[in-house]
Structures are given as C-alpha cells and as structure tokens.
A and B are shown apart, each in its own frame.
Chain A
Amino acid sequence: MGLRQPRRIALTLALIGLGVASLGALAFAQGSPFGVGPTSAPAPSGIGAWILAEQARFFRALSAAIREAKADGSAAYGLFWLSFLYGIFHAAGPGHGKAVISAYLLADGSTIPRGILLSALAALVQALTAIALVGIAAVLLGATARAMGEAVRILEIGAFGIIIVFGVLLAWRKGGAFLQALAVWRSGSVAHDQTHDHGHRHAHDHGHGHEQHVHDEHCGHSHGPEPAELAGRGWLKRGLIAAGAVGLRPCSGAILVLVFTLSQGIFLIGVASTFAMAAGTAITVAAIAVLAVGAKEVAVWLAAGRGGLGTVAFRGIELVGAFVVIALGVLLLSGLMASERMFPV
C-alpha cells in the first residue's frame, strides 16, 4: 500500500503544528489574583450564564450547609444533596474533564456504556485525588494552602502531560488506521464501481504500525464498520489511562469544601460530600459523553451505506478526536484553558 511512515508522520506533525499555531493566536495567560482562581473566562451568555449562576449559588450555599452540619449532624444530608447538585451543575460549566473524556470517546472504540463507565471512573478518581491530597497534606502534614497549591500544580502538570502524550499515541494509531482506510477506499473506488464495495477491510489498528493488513480482494459484500470490530483492542487500558489522567487533577471546589470541613472539625462529612459531588459530576459528564458517542454513531451510520467511505469517516472522526485530546492537553498545560485553578496562596 502507498502508506508510508513518513506520510503518516507528516500528517501528524502538520496537524499538531496547526493546533499549536492557533493557540499562539489565542492567547494571553494570566496568573491568579490573591493567588486565587484566575483567568480568561469569556463573557457568558444565555444558558451558559444560567449554569454559571447556578454553580455559584450552589457553591455559596455549600459554605452555609457545612456550618449547619457542624452544629447539627443531621443537616449533613442537606449538605450531601447540595454537593450532589453542585457536582451536576459544576460539570456542566467549566472543567476540563468532560472535554477530554468526550474527545477520547470520539477517538477510541466507544459505546454508550463505555462512555458512562469512563465518566464515572474519572469522577471517582477525581474525588479520591482531592481527598488524598487534603487528607495527606492538610490532615497529616499540616501543610499550608500554598503547599497544597503547589501539589495541585504538580498533579496538574502530570495530568495534562499524560493527556498530551496519550493524545499523541492515540493520534498515531488512529492516523495510521485512517490513512489505511482512505487508501483502501480510494483504491476501491478507482478500480471498481463505487456501489460495489470491497468489504472486508481489516483497517483496525493492532498496535503495530507496520502490519497493515489490507485484504482487498474479498469482493461481493458491502460491510460497514461494526463498532465491535472497529473499536480496537485494549480500549479498556486506554480508557483507564484517560479517566485516570482526567481525575488526577482535583477540582478546586472539592478542595475548598474539604479544607473548610477540616477547619470545622468535620472532615469526614467533607469526604462524604466530595463523593456526593463526584456522583453529580459523573452524571453530567456521562450525559455529555453519551451525546458525543451518539453523534459519532449517527455520523458513522450515515456513512455506513457507502462502504469503504464509512470506514474512512469512522477513522476520520477518531483521528479528529485524538487531535482534540492533544489540543486540550496543550491548552490546559499552557494555562490557556484554565477554567479554574487552585490558589498559589
């Protein structure tokens, strides 16, 4: 086949280059005010503004609910409920998690149950990170907010770095599969009538860039991509990496709640409240993930009747997803997409 490594490299680099260049045009990154949550929030409008206002309202109410829970243990249930709602609204607004998860799901063998599973995992890991951070730093070590801020920064760099590397590896896999599908489709449409499709294309990636099986001579049946077949192996491993990387960056709201409950002497209630928040977050992220997977399935379905083109579309969407993962990682790491941040207090 005419698919050489150099071409794949060139395509990969070109796209990364484009992404980076567009970033340059975007940008001014700011630090943080009191050493506080900073940066570029574009003017909210419409539903975005409403979500923003709801988040603020819930977050504000958390503070009072924690005080009540301190005075009266049974008020803790109110706090959990509020935390859960906050989780739902918070994930609908800012936060990188849902963007990275959705992009990943576009890029890799996604089905709706998988999307839900990964969203829930990411939210759970995120809650555990916040609890571990505050538990170790503040409870055990008596660290200052500044020390915790630095720890968050390190976790953040790690998480965003993993997202970028992961995205590049994903793009590499999917880029190969895409070019292969493209070549198969092109050779098919040149040699034969388009409606007469060359079905059995093993254009899936097996993780070996060199083994490109393209069985071109099984004429006679048209055969769109089957999710199970095209999903690619090892998605679970990759999915876990994606969920883990997303969850590695704790959410500021959870850290604030944990430290505040700690100062009130009800840390365990803060821990429970963090899990309640994670449950809410999981629901919203899962809903967005389902939309992403659904959109992809519709696109593939539309293209499916067109034989090889369906595979090309499928692989194309996956490749775009992989590049969005990279782009999000770069934006996050460079601080351009700081939708919230912990305070270098």
Chain B
Amino acid sequence: MKFLAPVRIALFALAALGLASTAARAHPHVWVTLNSELVFGSDGTVAAVRHAWTFDEMFSAFATQGLDKDNDGKLSREELKELAEVNVTSLEEFNYFSAAKNAGKDVAFDKPKDYWLEADKDNVLTLHFTLPLKAKAEKGEFTIDVYDPTFFVDLSFADGTVVKLDGAPAGCAAEVKKPQSQGTAQTNLSESFFNSLSASSQFGSQFANRITLRCK
C-alpha cells in the first residue's frame, strides 16, 4: 500500500500528459500558392527546381509589417531582402517542403540560390528561390512532392497550374497532380477520409502536390 498511491498518481499524470500532448494540433495559419519550374542542365537531366511561392494576403501583411522603410506604400525588393534571407534559411529545417525522388531514390537539395521576395500591388508576397540538386539526376522518373507534413502551412498548386520545363530535352513532360482531397480540403474533410488513413501514413503527404517528370 505504501508505494501504490504515488505510483498510481504518477501513471495518471503520465496518461494525462500523453493526452495533453496529442491534443495539441493546429490548423494552418499560412497559405501558399505554388508555382514551380524544373531547370535542366546542359546534359539534359534535372539540375534544379525553381519555386515561386505566393503567400496569402494576411500572412503577407504580417510578414511585411514595418518593412516599408521609405513609407511609399510599396515594398521594394531591397526592403524585402532581409525577410527573404530569413525565409529561405528557416525553410532548410523543413527541407523546403520539397521531397524529391529520382529513379526510386530520395534526392537531396543543396542550399537555395537566387532567392528574393517580390510584392505585388496589394503587397502580397511571392518568394522566389531555386533549389539545386546535390547529385546529378539519373535517368528514370523524377518526382517532387511539395507539402508540409505538419500541416502548419497549406501549400497547393492553383487549378490549371502547368510546371514549366527550362532547357528540357525533347520528349520530356511534367505532370502536376494535386492531392485528391485538396480541392475539398477546406470544406469537406470527412471523417471517413481521415479514418481511412492508416496510422502509419504520413498525414501531410496525403496533401502533397506531386510533380512527375517523364522523359522519353
């Protein structure tokens, strides 16, 4: 009896703790509209992915708060320079939300280059950056899934988006596949849909936007 009670309490406390931590989940606070391009090297293989991600207006307003140094109501590339730097630096930890596969193997990216932020007339931000492949791509299928596995950022291609190919050899074509449920994700995430996900499946990847490149 002497030790039972404390042990029991400890077990209860741990159970409660477990519950509390699984209860922590969030909805995205940031929405990104994707635009991507595949850049080919002189040897005809994919050398880099060129992303242009447009943020939603609320996040854009937040991120640019206080950055209009000359108070002209417009945000120049110069005024946004530091922010772009922070963005791409922070994205590294998340592997740029880009998971690529080539001939069945995972592809690693180098640090981004040619990055900048651009604001449109409503000061909505677009982040441009290019992700070079670390190693030379092989022949065979090349795919990139763009998604946030933790679902904090909602990334999606706009309807009818075409992935451009820069310097691709003849016979190459890229296909964009939006996640099945993406169009309805905001309004119609039915329980059965979620229940059908296996426990081990990676939730975010269900929402992946997949680019598939095939070359003849």
Interface of A toward B, CB cutoff 8 Å: 11, 14-15, 18-19, 22, 26, 30-50, 52-53, 55-57, 59-60, 62-63, 66-67, 90, 93-94, 96, 99, 103, 138, 142-148, 182, 186, 252-253, 255-257, 259-260, 262-264, 312, 316, 319-320, 323-324, 327-328, 331, 336-340, 343-345
Contacts and interface: CB of A to CB of B under 8 A. Distances in A.
A230 B99 CA distance: 57
Mostly helix, strand, loop or mixed at chain A's interface?
Answer: helix
26 contacts: A19-B13, A19-B14, A30-B93, A31-B90, A33-B30, A33-B152, A34-B127, A34-B153, A35-B86, A36-B153, A42-B203, A44-B194, A46-B191, A50-B189, A52-B151, A52-B189, A53-B186, A56-B154, A63-B58, A93-B26, A99-B20, A256-B29, A327-B17, A331-B21, A339-B24, A345-B86
A37 B152 contact: yes
Interface of B: 1, 5-6, 8-10, 12-14, 16-18, 20-31, 55-59, 61-67, 83, 86-87, 90-91, 93-94, 97, 123, 127, 148, 150-154, 185-189, 191, 193-195, 197, 199, 201-203
B13 A145 contact: no
Contact of B90 (A15, A46, A67, A344): A344
A320 B91 contact: no
Given A53-B187, A345-B83, A41 B151 contact: yes
A328 B20 contact: yes
A22, A186, A255 pick with most chain B CB within 10 angstroms: A22
A328 B23 CA distance: 12
B17 to A, nearest CB: 4
Given A44-B25, A327-B20, A339-B25, 17 more contacts: A22-B14, A39-B150, A40-B150, A41-B150, A42-B25, A44-B194, A46-B191, A57-B186, A63-B58, A93-B25, A138-B66, A144-B67, A182-B5, A186-B1, A263-B64, A328-B20, A340-B29
B138 to A, nearest CB: 29
A144 B58 contact: no
B26 A46 contact: no
Given A18-B14, A36-B90, A344-B90, A259 B65 contact: yes
A22 B58 CA distance: 38
Given A44-B203, A53-B186, A340-B26, A18 B10 contact: yes
A48 B30 CA distance: 19
A32, A103, A145, A340 pick with most chain B CB within 10 angstroms: A145
Nearest to B5: A182
Contacts of A144: 65-67
Contacts of A256: 29, 58-59, 61-62
A133 B194 CA distance: 38
A53 B14 contact: no
A31 B26 CA distance: 15
A46 B87 contact: no
Contacts of A320: 9, 12-13, 16
B14 to A, nearest CB: 6
A324 B199 CA distance: 27
Nearest to B31: A60
Contact of B152 (A11, A36, A103, A316): A36
Nearest to B96: A33
B58 to A, nearest CB: 5
A18 B24 CA distance: 21
Nearest first, the 8 closest Cβ-Cβ pairs linking A and B are A43-B203, A144-B66, A55-B27, A339-B24, A53-B189, A263-B61, A56-B27, A49-B194
B195 A60 contact: no
Contacts of B83: 345
Contact of A94 (B25, B62, B63, B86): B25
A15 B66 contact: no
A52 B25 contact: yes
A43 B13 CA distance: 23
B7 to A, nearest CB: 9
B147 to A, nearest CB: 12
A27 to B, nearest CB: 10
A56 B150 contact: no
Contact of B24 (A19, A32, A94): A94
A45 B6 contact: no
B17 A19 contact: yes
Contacts of A42: 22, 25, 203
Contacts of B56: 60, 63
A94 B191 contact: no
Nearest to A337: B24
A43 B151 CA distance: 9
